[in-house]
Structure 1
Amino acid sequence: MTTAAFTAQLTTALHELYPGPEAAAVAALVTETLLGLSSLQRRMQATALVPAEVVAQLPALQTRLLAHEPVQYVLGTAHFAGLDLEVSPATLIPRPETEELAQLIAQEQAGRTGLTVLDVGTGSGCLALAVARALRPARTVAVDISEEALAVARRNATRYAPETEFQQLDILRITPTITPGTLDVLASNPPYVRDSERTQMRANVLAWEPTTALFVPDTDPLLFYKRLAELARV
């Protein structure tokens, strides 16, 4: 099976779940990731044969994707701010708005060194690692309530910013270990979706991504933002 045929077969299978352009984009991403190709290389190598061991993975890939499993979890990786990060159902899939936040922090703090950065709810470590790389040398502390998520973040840090410090704690109850008066940057993309809005979420989000990283009580939807405001005064 050629590269083009592999992509086309997966695109056809995904049409029952995704609109045409989205199905094609997901299929292209899968092909490129499995074969280690860029988008340009995939198109230039359209007639190249796909290794048999990769073709053998196609039925299982289709089954998982058609069960609404996010493509990032199927592949075990997500692209973020130039980084190829490991992700799993224990971590929220990095969002474009979080990448914009990382870029904004890097721009605002450009030229400064020796900063102390705190990332709350680090998940895969995407925000902490992108900021750590942009602001070196800096002390970057990343916290999360989930030890499973932190295990993923630590593996990502090994590749991109091994100096990053990680702390497992419930941010609503415990303050991270940072000397008072030394915090320069507080970064977070905290949960903000009301529990009552669960029915409006897409199946691939609701069934697969960690609910603790998404939802807040209807009675206090700003509780994480209130806590972040408290931490900003540390």
Structure 2
Amino acid sequence: MSTGVLLLHGSSGTPDLDRARLLEAEGYDVLAPTWAVTYEVPLESFPLDELAHHDRLVVIGSSWGAEAALLLGALDARVESVVAFAPSSYVWGRNLEDGSQRSGWTWRGEPLPFVPYDRDWQPETDPPSFTGLYRQSLRAATDRMRIPVERIRGEVLLVAGGDDQVWPAAEFADEIVRRRGERPTRVVAVGTAGHRAVLPGEQPKTAGQRMARGGTDAADRELGALAWPEVLGVLAGG
């Protein structure tokens, strides 16, 4: 049984090429596309069609890429399992230059309902941590804005740092676990790790806007070391 892997980067805008090489070394066919991190990105624009000849499709994503991965798993029946690094349990908006907000994603031409950012929030640190923004914005969230993770037909693996300063990924992971009930869901977490886990053989990623991401090099590597065998387990189908 062959497995194709779609690997989605986050808001840094750069593919996770080290991660792709690690997966390819394990014998998997991996696509790691560059995608425009903007508003109303069509989920159909991710190249799952190019992997459709495989028996199984797994989507792996980080941060905003994890948001996309979970949505694809919920909405595209071809996706069996999802691995989400620093996941979100909600669909989020994007800020436009004119001050308006739009959904991050569309499906079949329709923008997905999204949580709008609270315009009254102000950062308290420099560089800014955005976890407070996400928690404060959730006061306006409704059920329609949640990612329907209960629809993902296979296993979901969630990798989260308890010191994530970008968004509260560990809290989002806990919510995903609750909402999936008895469906196969695993969490790998390290309380002192930040937003970016570092898998064995990877170099820490440095691209992206200036912000606090939390964690330490040692903790982020610890999280990656714990996550790696679990990732391989998902890809192996067990």
Q: TM-score, normalization: structure 2?
A: 0.30
Looking at secondary structure, tell me which structure has more helix per residue. 1
Looking at secondary structure, tell me which structure has more strand per residue. 2
Higher relative contact order (CA 8 A, sep 6+): 2
Higher-Rg member (1/2) = 1
Q: TM-score, normalization: structure 1?
A: 0.31
